[in-house]
A and B are shown apart, each in its own frame.
Chain A
Amino acid sequence: MSTPSLADIQNQWFDWLDQDQPAIGERFASAHTDHPRLGKTCLNNARLDIYRNNRFQVLLQTLQQHYPQTLALVGGDYFKQLVRLYSRQQPPTQRNLHTYGLSQYQGLGQAADDTTPERHTLSFSQFLHANQDIQSRGLVYLAPLAELESALQRAYFASNDSVWDGEGFAQLSPNTQMRCQLQLSHSLTLLDSRWDLEAIINSITPSEERVKSTQKTLQLHTGDFYFVVYRHTHKPQFYALSGNEYRALTHLRAGGIELADWLQQHTSAAASLAQWISRGWISHFIRAAQDDPNHAG
């Protein structure tokens, strides 16, 4: 019997793990001598399936934790089917599962070596969006809901922000203040949706009062809805925005705009500025180069 190389053996293991049919386990115990084989004592596929099941259970638990509302909406069995399909299409490409299934995360890993590059090509919410079965069942709001949950997870893992330096800002002259650029929190994500995701979540997990007074029915309102997702202390949360607030914050996120210009373009948002700072949505300011005493130029 020829001894396969270790690399071949490991490659075969992952071939087997990446496939979904338990019967494929027989491959290891088959008569093909060019395949890495397990001992005759392990002909029972149940033993091999432990490894595949272990992997699936870990990935299932990970996505259950990341997408609890999606899980509650579709139920455990269907969610499991979805995860089975997704994990086959998108096996983990990182050793750390904290971001498995999440959308590309901006604002995370501010330190250059904080995380290895994320190589997911399809997040779980993108997978749901592209899944034909979901679309044919009319669950078109599932992907936006999952995207919101993905943003909540990203907020949870986002880098810590610096503390808003209110005293420092107050000491600047009014002209210098107006030339500053405001920066949003690392944890903050802005979402627009044609579904009222807040109403959907409230009808999935109704408050105690609502449980007493109304029947639990899914609230599916369509229109133009805007949300901000952020982390307050350790808890990620989301908040409904008006269209004007959403556009004002999106403009800040894009960067490169001085406070004076921003205020001029978003006059209605100006009244909210202090509140946004107090909530931590705006975490710091950058002085214009000509006003910055530390700037070399």
Chain B
Amino acid sequence: MPSSTPVRTAGACTPSTNPTSDPVIEGAGVGLRMPHLGELLADADAEQPQLDIPWLELLADNWLAPGGESLGGINRELLDAASERFALTLHGVGLSLGSCGELDMHYLKRIKQLQRHTGARWYSEHCSFSWESQRQHYAPDLLPLPYTDEAVMLLAQHICQVQDFMGEPLLLENVSSYVQYEHSQLTEAEFINAVLHEADCLLLLDINNVYVTSYNETAAQSAEQGQLPPNDLRTQSLASAEHFLRQMPHQRVKEIHLAGHESIERNDHNFLLDTHSQPVCEDVWRLYQRYITEQGPRATLIEWDSDLPSLAQLDGERRNAQNILDECVHSIPAAHAQQSRDNHPWTQELSTQARPTKILSAKVPSKQVLAP
């Protein structure tokens, strides 16, 4: 039987005044998933916390349920508890930056409310589309864009609108892909460079996605030309992923995602599925370590979405990333590290002032300009 305890009153929507409203995001964090939240909060409140997780990423769409003034719905208390104890970032999947038609400013407004409420340090979204504007249907997936000049301009225009509205740079994440378009005019690396340059935004570099895409492309090519032995396939995929990573605009890389994937074999055709249901694989750790060693530390996040492990296991993955970051910091001489950090916009304070609307030039990025 219900008790006579009244349902709590939702307060007015006001910006958070919690002490973490302007936190520094660095080191290795984890994606916050509800089954872990109780344990995370209990540990944070313990006299001697066992975990040392410096920051959490909120999957923004999970906190946009209707009701409760849209700020986390009835889970608002949990949201407030998390934002009081942890530095946060916001990661979205529903904006559909690459869709033709207008951006959903209503959705974006709710993202902004959520960011203000939680004090989340930045907002990231994906280089993909999931909304079809003619029939107004949504696909809960990250559908790949063709790497064309038209897509560059559309994506850049939408990112500029987001940045103007949010008053800060957006972090764009590369997605994993299982298909390629015949009429792509650019490589994926060229495409990302062009978009980041046009929109003047930052990059959330998902190294697992880079590896999954590289593997899938290599496997598809080898299926046509004669199946490669598994070891050769892996070696070539790793080389392809390294080549991709070398082409990234490193000064724009603000955050790195790491996750696990699954290997699928269907009709004698191998591919990797970006499931976020496994530990980070050895090859992705290798790519990450090399990237961090060469380019310097970046805020790093372990994503794990399905078949959730215990928080202890998830924290084990996070500590692996943290150890790599720590080794990198210790191996760089202090003067060099300082110089390196000063040269990186990611170490600079993100502007909280709205920038003037960026007017896109008519210039179309070309392969020649972007080729290394």
Contacts and interface: CB of A to CB of B under 8 A. Distances in A.
Contact of B143 (A51, A99, A283): A51
A157 interface: yes
Contact of B7 (A14, A58, A91, A163): A163
B74 A157 contact: yes
Interface string B236-270: 00000000000000000000000000000011010
B68 interface: yes
A111 B221 contact: no
B224 A17 contact: no
Interface string B278-298: 000000000000000000000
Contacts, number: 210
Interface string B58-102: 000100111111100111100000000000000000111001110
B223 A41 contact: yes
Contacts of A157: 65-67, 73-74
Contact of A44 (B70, B136, B181, B267): B267
B61 A231 contact: no
Interface in B96-110: 96, 99-101, 104, 106-107, 109-110
Given A42-B180, A91-B137, A95-B61, A115 B7 contact: no
Q: Which of B67, B68, B271 has the most CB of A within 10 A?
A: B67
B148 interface: yes
A40 B7 contact: no
A54 B95 CA distance: 18
A5 B153 CA distance: 13
B2 A279 contact: yes
Nearest to A283: B7
A234 interface: yes
Nearest to B65: A98
A268 interface: no
Contacts of A79: none
B331 to A, nearest CB: 40
B70 A114 contact: yes
Contacts of A206: none
A16 B182 CA distance: 17
A285 interface: no
Q: Which of A18, A41, A116 has the most CB of B within 10 A?
A: A41
Interface stretch (B126-134, B159-167, B351-359): B126-134
B61 to A, nearest CB: 6
Nearest to B4: A278
A14 B216 CA distance: 23
A59 B109 CA distance: 25
Given A10-B129, A109-B67, A279 B137 contact: no
Interface string B108-134: 011000000000000000000111111
A213 B273 CA distance: 47
A108 B137 contact: no
A162 interface: yes
A279 B141 contact: no
Contact of B74 (A3, A40, A42, A234): A234
Interface string A253-297: 000000000000000000000000011100100000000000000
B151 interface: yes
A160 B77 CA distance: 12
Interface stretch (A31-39, A69-77, A139-147, A244-252): A31-39
B43 interface: no
Contact of B132 (A13, A36, A51, A105): A13
Interface of B: 2-10, 61, 64-70, 73-76, 94-96, 99-101, 104, 106-107, 109-110, 129-141, 143, 145-146, 148, 150-151, 154, 178-185, 216-217, 220-221, 223-224, 266-267, 269, 271, 273
8 contacts: A3-B185, A6-B145, A50-B273, A55-B141, A58-B141, A95-B130, A114-B70, A159-B66
The 6 A-B pairs of least Cβ separation, nearest first, read A278-B4, A95-B94, A160-B10, A41-B220, A39-B180, A14-B132
